[in-house]
């Protein structure tokens, strides 16, 4: 079998889904992608068993054939070839790639060994603009845990309620919550999507695309006109995030966002990336301090403050993450009188809330 394809027709779909292929060698077949050449369409599949992707190549042929080829090597070869037509010849279990004076052969695997990828056709369903979905992921993904000892926290929680989509990320020490109204949204039960799957959705979905989301008992599918991403759902009960949000914090400060971000970065320059900084509120000033083996740093920032004099220690990375993801000119910080969660918000995004737990020292 021989086919001729323009490089740009095949390169983009392959580059979209190759990142899913498994780098480790526990199941070598997962390092491959499956390409199904057909009379009506050509479909490409990639999976690591947790998340799968399906996309299409704008090509049809009368000679149907399925091939399984090493995904990353195939992509690397395509990138190095020149723009223009490429000839692909399939003989037994070998694919030969030819362009001008170049010829490269790749071994092919048995398509029967490639895991089956099933699309979800029945379940809870809604559509959300890609730009909104990407914004929601960006606002909470940084807070999702990487510690697998509490596996349920290694995913982003998503729920539909009262015409709003709610997404939550937490690692037990901080939490980011964002909710947005979506036209025509029906309520759907909460689900926890693995962090890896969320990252793939973020990478593959375009801002100007509508995304159709279908949910069944164990999987969720994100679909656009050109792409399907199917992920398993993490089993278990996500923490009750609503009860975690503080409601009685009476020490309220308003600070200029840019001044706070620059102050945190300057003071943290003498400490490690996740070490503590001390934040003290007194009068209309906030003092940020840090100390390490190599020295000390201190910065005073003007704030509008209503509350008692208070001092708290925080993981500096957590603070920088929060301030970076908040937008608007000013940030409101609401702290309790005693030890407890501190709430961070900005006025331009009413549905976006961050909490960070102080460190006991």
pLDDT in tens, 301-353: 999 999 999 999 999 999 999 999 999 899 999 999 888 999 999 988 889 99
Q: Indicate yes or no: pTM above 0.85.
A: yes
Contacts of 251 (CB under 8 A, 6+ apart): 281, 305, 306, 307, 308, 310, 334, 335, 336, 337
pLDDT in tens, 22-61: 776 578 999 999 999 998 999 999 999 999 999 999 999 8
* pLDDT tens for each residue of 243-254: 999 988 999 999
Length of the chain in terms of residues written:
361
pLDDT of the residue at 309: 93
Among residues 56, 59, 37, which one has the least CA distance to residue 46?
Answer: 56
- What integer pLDDT is reported at residue 172 of this predicted model? 95
pLDDT in the model for residue 287:
97
For residues 84 and 322, what is the distance between their CA atoms, to the nearest angstrom?
46
Q: Which residues contact 262 (CB under 8 A, 6 or more apart)?
A: none
Residue 155's pLDDT band (cuts 50, 70, 90): very high
Number of continuous H segments (helices) and E segments (strands) in the chain: 7, 24
Q: What pLDDT is stored for residue 112 in this prediction?
A: 95
Q: Phi first, then psi: what are they for 269, rounded to 5°?
A: -65, -20
The pLDDT, as a whole number, for residue 273 is 82
Q: Percent of the chain having pLDDT more than 70? A: 99
pLDDT digit string, tens, across residues 192-242: 999 999 999 999 999 999 999 999 989 999 999 989 999 999 999 999 999
* Average pLDDT value for the chain: 93
Q: What is the pLDDT of residue 65?
A: 93
pLDDT band at 361 (very low <50, low <70, confident <90, very high): confident
- The total of other beta-carbon atoms located within 10 Å of residue 155's CB is 25
Around Cβ 184, how many Cβ atoms within 10 Å?
Answer: 8
Least confident of 40-54, 62-76, 83-97, 109-123: 109-123
Confidence of residue 14 (pLDDT cuts 50, 70, 90): very high
Give the residue ranges of DSSP H helices in the chain: 7-17, 71-80, 130-140, 195-204, 241-244, 257-267, 316-325
Burial of 190 (0-12, 13-18, 19+ CB in 10 A): middle
| pLDDT of the residue at 145 | 97
Domains of the chain and CATH, by start: 2-113 (3.10.150.10), 124-243 (3.10.150.10), 245-356 (3.10.150.10)
Please report how the helices 7-17 and 71-80 are oriented relative to each other, as an axis angle in degrees rounded to 10.
140
DSSP 196-232: HHHHHHHHH--TTSEEEEEE-SSEEEEE-SSEEEEEE
Q: Which two tokens stand for residue 27?
A: 């199941």
- The CA angle 169-175-177, to the nearest 5 degrees, is 65
């Amino acid at each position: 079998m021989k086919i001729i394809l323009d490089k740009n027709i095949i390169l983009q779909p392959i580059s979209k889904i190759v990142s899913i292929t498994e780098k480790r060698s526990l199941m070598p077949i997962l390092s491959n992608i499956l390409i199904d050449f057909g009379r009506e369409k050509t479909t490409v599949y990639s999976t690591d068993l947790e998340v799968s992707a399906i996309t299409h190549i704008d090509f049809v042929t009368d000679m149907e054939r399925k091939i399984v080829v090493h995904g990353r090597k195939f992509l690397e070869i395509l990138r190095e070839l020149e723009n223009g037509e490429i000839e692909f010849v399939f003989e037994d279990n070998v694919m030969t790639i030819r362009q001008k004076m170049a010829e490269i052969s790749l071994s092919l695997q048995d398509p029967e060994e490639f895991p089956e990828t099933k699309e979800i056709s029945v379940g809870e369903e809604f559509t959300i603009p890609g730009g909104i979905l990407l914004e929601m992921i960006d606002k909470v993904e940084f807070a999702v845990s990487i510690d697998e000892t509490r596996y349920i926290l290694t995913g982003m929680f998503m729920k539909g309620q009262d015409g709003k989509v709610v997404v939550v990320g937490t690692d037990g020490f901080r939490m980011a919550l964002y909710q947005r109204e979506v036209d025509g949204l029906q309520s759907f039960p909460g689900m926890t999507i693995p962090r890896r799957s969320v990252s793939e959705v973020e990478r593959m979905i375009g801002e100007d695309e509508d995304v159709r989301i279908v949910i069944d008992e164990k999987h969720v599918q994100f679909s656009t006109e050109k792409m399907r991403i199917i992920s398993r759902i993490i089993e278990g009960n996500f923490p009750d995030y609503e009860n975690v949000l503080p409601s009685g914090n009476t020490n309220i400060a308003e600070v200029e966002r840019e001044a706070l971000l620059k102050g945190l970065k300057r003071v943290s320059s003498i400490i490690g990336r996740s070490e503590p900084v001390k934040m003290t509120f007194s009068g209309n000033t906030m003092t940020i301090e840090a100390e390490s083996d190599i020295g000390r740093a201190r910065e005073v920032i003007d704030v509008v403050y209503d509350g008692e004099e208070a001092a708290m220690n925080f993981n500096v990375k957590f603070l920088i993450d929060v301030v970076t993801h908040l937008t608007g000119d000013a940030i409101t910080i609401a702290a309790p009188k005693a030890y407890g969660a501190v709430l961070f918000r900005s006025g331009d995004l009413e549905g976006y809330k961050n909490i960070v737990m102080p460190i006991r020292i």
